Amino acid sequence: MGSVSFSGVRLIEPDAGYLASFLEAERESRDAGVYEFSQLPKKYVKNEINFAKYLRRLHNCRYGKGLKRGAVPYTSFWLTDETTATFIGQANIRHYLTEDLATFGGHIGYAIRPGMWGRGYGTLQLSLLLPEAKRLGIRIARLTCYADNIPSARVIEKNGGVRAGESYNDRTGVTRKILLYDIKL
């Protein structure tokens, strides 16, 4: 694999200018059998009009509008390459944690599209998200990852994550170990 340049790579608020690349990342993710970026019903990402609704929904979530009962406000960010108009990854910073989120989910959730794994984008993305979390008033960011997700654990550790414990989750019907990390901001 060749070297990757991070010039032009930025953390931005979700932007309609990345629709084509975002949808490509959604397909790539679905084809790989992993995380889908939108995390919202497909009706929001079928076309430009619905995509605008999706972006409004993300904006509203920042202010706690339209959230499901028990959900917390969060701010969404995208990692993009502005020189090629490429969507690289998505992230959410939860403004505070419930007891459940402290052991599964944490303050920051992030994902890089599968075609760009292993190039350092996850580490870069998290390093850019930490100052944003601090601006939201978070002093110790909690991050979690499945114990078998070694790349994610490495990303967290490279960004100063210190193991704070473990928990278990059986939401998918299979019990999985979760590693808990804290990063002092």
The tens digit of pLDDT for each residue in 19-58 reads 889 888 888 888 887 766 655 556 556 666 678 888 998 9
Q: Is 161 exposed, middle or buried (0-12, 13-18, 19+ CB in 10 A)?
A: buried
Banded model confidence at residue 2, pLDDT cuts 50, 70, 90: very low
The tens digit of pLDDT for each residue in 64-113 reads 999 998 899 999 999 999 999 999 999 999 999 999 999 999 999 999 99
- Going along the chain from its start, the domains and CATH numbers come out as 9-184 (3.40.630.30)
Q: How many residues does the chain have?
A: 185
Which pTM does this prediction carry?
0.90
Say how many C-beta atoms besides its own lie within 10 A of residue 35's C-beta. Answer: 18
Cβ–Cβ < 8 Å for 132, 79: no
